[in-house]
Amino acid sequence: MQDAINEQIKNELYSGYLYLAMAAYAEAQNLPGFAHWMKAQCQEEVEHAMKFFGHVAERGGRVELRAIDEPPVEFDSPTALFEMTLEHEKKVTGLINDLYELALAEKDYASQVLLQWYIGEQVEEEANATEILETLRMAGGKGQALVMMDRALARRGE
């Protein structure tokens, strides 16, 4: 279980790195609201990694950090950012579900409790990405609609 959680720490940190790369793209496209949303998402993913880190440490285990892959740096459009965001969150959901299955098999009840929080969090993550993506698709992801969406995303955390 410890080895699998160490791998998930890497995955959560990669998620943060991916969202930071997306923020950099959005900044370069003069979309500060998109960049703000992605930076906030990056911070949230790092917090998720640290929550796993704390879990391992509290249980007397050893966190072993692993290499993080380089994220993509170019994206086709703001809509493509959220298409990738949704796909990535679905992948993370699968990883969390796999961890939960392992915790069940190992009868690791403390990890099961922790992972139940992550399962709920992933429902929220996928719902948020889906809502933004569907709005971008409905609006066409261009022009005035894109500016309005950028302004809406800038309000995350208010």
Classify residue 115 as exposed, middle or buried by CB count within 10 Å of its CB (0-12, 13-18, 19+).
buried
* pLDDT attached to residue 145: 83
Fold of 2-154: Ferritin (1.20.1260)
Burial class (CB in 10 A: 0-12, 13-18, 19+), 90: middle
- Among 84, 82, 78, CA closest to 28: 78
pTM: 0.94
The identity of residue 135, as a single letter, is T
What's the mean pLDDT in 25-32?
A: 96
**Residue 36 exposure: Cα atoms within 13 Å on the Cβ side:** 14
User: What's the confidence (pLDDT) of residue 26?
Assistant: 97
User: Is residue 71 over pLDDT 80?
Assistant: yes
* pLDDT value, residue 53: 98
End-to-end CA distance of the chain, in Å?
A: 37
Give pLDDT, residue 141.
67
Q: What would the pLDDT profile of 75-93 be if each residue is shown by its tens digit? A: 999 999 999 999 999 999 9
| Percent share of the chain, pLDDT over 70 | 99
Supply the DSSP string of 57-92, one letter for each residue: HHTT------PPPPPP---S-HHHHHHHHHHHHHHH
- Whose CA is closest to 1, among 146, 153, 103, 96? 103
Check whether 142 has a pLDDT greater than 80. no
